[in-house]
Structure 1
């Protein structure tokens, strides 16, 4: 497959390597795109005390139409990329709509030779509208189908919010890298030690991304040759979606899910459930007059309740783990006029369960 098969993405990948100010802007855009891109997870510290970790995700709004436009490239190459990219629609509740003109969230170029890369999820919104958010540096009309599948499936995984599998928090310590050999190997591709550290050895923090158990079969996993590891350990080229890829992305973009539900202070409680592992339910309500509001969950499910706002879906105003009855959550807060959102998740990412949610105004 040529000399480019040694890697999938360039050492600098938009959306994975950003300056602080760009990261701040990216977080703001992500939180406006989808309220559960900002989540609170209770963590135990010390002698039973609880603190919160805020997760910053890059997922698109579930059910969204993503407009995709080619900036350049040969028609036959564009056609193969389009066909393979559309496979993601079977995994994620998104429509990938290729357009010839007008506004587009994802813009594809072939101009930067030797490297392929993509922004990660909503980080595409940080890129000027005239510039590419994705690049394929070595795809040609004669490139083998398996190479198209490997690279296009991988880069569109980034575009929908996935990270490199070897940088999954659960991958820490799982690959026995021979570091001197890795540095020497990637130096032949023009990577310096900082590039290798950032793109190969570093893993994401637990509280910065959705992730599954480490999956060496993931389409997002680089090949790991035995020559770059200590002992006998290797991962081959992955060209198909693994079962974990499929389950994971279906959970991030589930089908047949109701949009953000409306709640009313003093209105009836809403009976609902967390039907799938990792699900986050979102609710919207408005405050017309200042007052103290009591927000609660009820039922057998161990819930975490987060209050967002005012008028900013990405701002975490308050959260609670178990101040309600049993394992339920309860937030009491004085609120001023504006729009607010509540999100509910199970305390254990792998668990599900029924609950009800309601809001009342303290007399």
Structure 2
């Protein structure tokens, strides 16, 4: 095979779920959400993402490597700024969130989103193990776009919940092929066959053109099924990441107890607005939305963005939301999104004592 069917090494550091979840929600409140389809059921599905705060400046530092190779990686990585509302700043900052190495030859990998914050500041969060001065530009584009997709929070497309049953893997051949590259059966399961659960990630319908999709040669599947090594971000990649990091997004806003309602709009499908407020006196508080949009309201806290205290859909007037809770002193957060992930609209949110 001329082209590597894998992109990521199985040796990227695996972070304990509890640690990873906590770091993620400290970065961004809506890294914990309630699945919209669950509001009519007995329980809620909690989605846990690894997204950076919208509008974040991410510092990138090269730990080693050839300057020519570094410059090519930087140029391709910067393309993500045109897709997501994030800034990548390359420099020598010792506190850089993304730290790139070329030391592990033959292996390329990246931490997923905020998992990079769980790595010791002296260690790499990303590695490019087969990029050299004489490497072709197609391979640079394929690998750099893919690994920086991981760094911004994207998962492997072939491991998306939507990929279940789509790829007719010939499992014995897959195990044998990757064994030849030093992968154990557990490595293959973790990086190829295991699908993320519905409650662990944002995802779209399966997209074989995604930059996050591994190349799949026909020799590793049953029947006639193959996917070439994608080098470009697909239209769905661009749309999806634009939703996760919307331009003009308001970021975290302060909500004042007994203050005026804040008028806002969900200008992009999939957008989530987040609000912070502080309770100084114990009591009963009323959080509600008004307006024409059918929104979903979540309350997080106290003093823990990852704890979902309450959620509501349609307990307010019309299609609006209303949460009434006795709250103790502490910090709290509200997140608001449209009940239809493809819809947009206006609303207002308020916080009053009862």
**The residue matched to 1:206 in structure 2 has which SS?**
coil
1:88 positional shift: 0.8
Confirm or deny that 1:25 pairs with 2:24: no
C-alpha separation between the residues in 1 aligned to 2:5 and 2:41?
47
CA root-mean-square deviation: 1.6
C-alpha separation between the residues in 2 aligned to 1:119 and 1:57?
13
Consecutive unaligned residues in structure 1, runs of 5 or more:
none
1:245 positional shift: 0.8
How is 1:21-100 mapped onto 2 (pairs within 5 angstroms)? 22-44=16-38, 49-100=41-92
Corresponding residue to 2:200 among 187, 202, 208: 208
C-alpha separation between the residues in 1 aligned to 2:79 and 2:314?
41
Other-structure match for 2:99: 107
Structure 1 residues 70-111: Cα deviation after superposition (integer angstroms, max 9, x where no partner): 111111111111111111111111111111242111111111
Structure 1 residues 143-168: Cα deviation after superposition (integer angstroms, max 9, x where no partner): 00110110011000000000001011
**The residue matched to 1:52 in structure 2 has which SS?**
coil
Confirm or deny that 1:148 pairs with 2:140: yes
Other-structure match for 1:231: 223
Corresponding residue to 1:190 among 179, 182, 185: 182
| Worse overlay, 267-276 or 125-134 | 267-276
Structure 1 residues 283-337: Cα deviation after superposition (integer angstroms, max 9, x where no partner): 1222221110011122332222111112222221211223222332221101122
C-alpha separation between the residues in 2 aligned to 1:246 and 1:97?
21
Equivalent pair of 1:42/1:50 in contact (CA under 8 Å):
no
C-alpha separation between the residues in 1 aligned to 2:109 and 2:11?
8
1:2 positional shift: 5.6
Equivalent pair of 1:54/1:208 in contact (CA under 8 Å):
yes
TM-score w.r.t. structure 2 length? Answer: 0.95
C-alpha separation between the residues in 2 aligned to 1:81 and 1:333?
50
How is 1:131-170 mapped onto 2 (pairs within 5 angstroms)? 131-170=123-162
Structure 1 residues 182-235: Cα deviation after superposition (integer angstroms, max 9, x where no partner): 112211111122111111111111111111111100110001111211221111
Corresponding residue to 1:348 among 321, 327, 340: 340
Number of corresponding residues: 354
Other-structure match for 1:330: 322
C-alpha separation between the residues in 2 aligned to 1:50 and 1:353?
28
**The residue matched to 2:158 in structure 1 has which SS?**
helix
| Worse overlay, 331-340 or 132-141 | 331-340
**The residue matched to 1:209 in structure 2 has which SS?**
coil
**The residue matched to 1:6 in structure 2 has which SS?**
coil
**The residue matched to 1:51 in structure 2 has which SS?**
coil
TM-score w.r.t. structure 1 length? Answer: 0.93
**TM superposition outliers: structure 1 runs of 4+ over 3 Å:** 42-45
Consecutive unaligned residues in structure 2, runs of 5 or more:
none
| Worse overlay, 294-303 or 146-155 | 294-303
C-alpha separation between the residues in 2 aligned to 1:180 and 1:246?
35
